[in-house]
């Protein structure tokens, strides 16, 4: 009887450690590995108090608080033909001034550096012959695609990219994306098979 209990315990540990190691192979967002179907992942995000705004073309849109920022939009992406989560993007609230926009960017960059170390790649510049002098000139550069601010962390589990983005000339915001290495590879393999 004692031997049977020990064998059951060892079997339980083997199964548990196998399940844990599989989930820890993926990049993690809000404590949840980027893996599984879209509906499974959305359910997990709803448990993290995100509100589901709907799904279209293999992308679920949610809203909620992330990294201390309220009213963030979170897009969870899959390949339409293969229901497998591989990428998440967070759009932080839009900002009207360079000081608040860059403040968000540098605050998030510092937090990411504390967690993941120094970024693998950093570009932080304005495309112009002379640097913009004031806040409104910098925002003008952002709105007209003359601002290149991004930092990339490449990990063994995937890639994280933080950037300053704009939508037309009306919205300027910080974007943070997580791309899982394993599932991105599966998506890429599927896409290459179409070629």
Specify the higher pLDDT residue, 22 or 157: 157
Buried b (16+ CB within 10 A) or exposed e, 122-146: eeeebeeeeebeeeeebbbbbbeee
CA distance 58 to 52: 14
pLDDT, position 22: 43
Chain-centroid distance of CA 90 in Å reads 6
pLDDT, position 5: 43
Q: Is the pLDDT of residue 19 over 80?
A: no
The proportion of the chain whose per-residue pLDDT surpasses 70, expressed as a percent, equals 87
As given in the structure block, the two tokens for residue 190 are: 């599927």
Q: Do the Cβ atoms of 160 and 116 come closer than 8 Å?
A: yes
Specify the higher pLDDT residue, 97 or 57: 97
Q: What pLDDT digit, counting tens, does each position of 30-87 carry?
A: 989 999 999 999 999 999 999 999 998 889 999 999 999 999 999 999 876 788 899 9
Q: Are strands 171-180 and 82-91 parallel, antiparallel or unpaired?
A: antiparallel
Q: What pLDDT digit, counting tens, does each position of 175-185 carry?
A: 999 999 888 88
Burial class (CB in 10 A: 0-12, 13-18, 19+), 25: middle
């Amino acid at each position: 009887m004692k031997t049977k209990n020990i064998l059951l315990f060892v079997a339980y540990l083997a199964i548990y450690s196998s399940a844990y190691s599989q989930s820890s192979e993926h990049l993690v967002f809000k404590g949840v590995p980027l893996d599984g179907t879209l509906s499974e992942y959305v359910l997990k995000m709803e448990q993290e108090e995100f509100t589901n705004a709907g799904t279209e073309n293999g992308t679920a849109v949610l809203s909620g608080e992330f990294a201390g920022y309220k009213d963030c939009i979170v897009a969870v992406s899959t390949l339409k033909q293969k229901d497998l989560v591989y990428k998440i993007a967070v759009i932080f609230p839009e900002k009207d001034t360079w000081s608040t926009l860059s403040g968000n960017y540098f605050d998030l960059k510092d937090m990411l550096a504390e967690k993941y170390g120094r970024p693998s790649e950093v570009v932080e510049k304005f495309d112009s012959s002379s640097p913009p002098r004031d806040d409104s000139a910098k925002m003008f550069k952002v709105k007209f695609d003359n601002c290149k601010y991004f930092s990339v962390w490449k990990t063994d589990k995937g890639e994280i990219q933080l950037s300053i983005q704009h939508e037309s000339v009306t919205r300027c915001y910080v974007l943070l994306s997580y791309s899982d290495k394993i599932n991105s590879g599966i998506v890429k393999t599927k896409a290459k098979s179409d070629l």
